Structure 1
């Protein structure tokens, strides 16, 4: 293997390693933040908060959590599964 080919291979390995490290860091941060937000939402999502939301929004507007653009709400909420 010539020095030019070795330096190219080494540069590729270093670049791939750096990209993998950045991707792993971003994934870790997003996972941590997701867990934090899930804890906040779980603490708020109670029967009392849903009753309050219904008093304010029921009939006035469509549920904003059902918006096509809100991909975080694509999973159904537990209280809706109980109604079915």
Structure 2
């Protein structure tokens, strides 16, 4: 009986460890990619690019960057709002 309990406990610990390792890896990759994209977009954020965007989206109902589905840029857009 104790061998069954021990094997279940070891199996649970190994499964939890593997899931944690995968989650940590995915989180690290997403964090790295996010920083890369932030650097790219901050380099592109110039008065000339804003003027170009305004010309393209002139007459649009709302700014597409403020769309509810664009949740990935909420932090960075809010931080640059005063600029």
Structure 2 length as normaliser, TM-score?
0.83
| Matching residue of 1:7 | 7
SS state at 1:74 partner = helix
| Matching residue of 2:69 | 69
Q: Distance in 1 between matches of 2:73 and 2:36?
A: 17
Q: Name structure 2 gaps, 5 residues minimum.
A: none
Aligned-residue CA RMSD (Å): 1.8
Q: Distance in 2 between matches of 1:17 and 1:5?
A: 18
The 5-angstrom pairing of residues 2-81 of structure 1 reads: 2-58=2-58, 60-61=59-60, 62-75=62-75, 76=78, 78=80, 80-81=81-82
SS state at 1:68 partner = coil
Shift of 1:57: 2.0
Q: Distance in 1 between matches of 2:72 and 2:8?
A: 43
Higher relative contact order (CA 8 A, sep 6+): 2
Give CA-to-partner distance per residue, 1:14-67, whole Å, 9 cap, x none: 000000000000001100110110011011011111112112322x21211121
- The more displaced of 49-58 and 16-25 is 49-58
Number of equivalent positions: 80
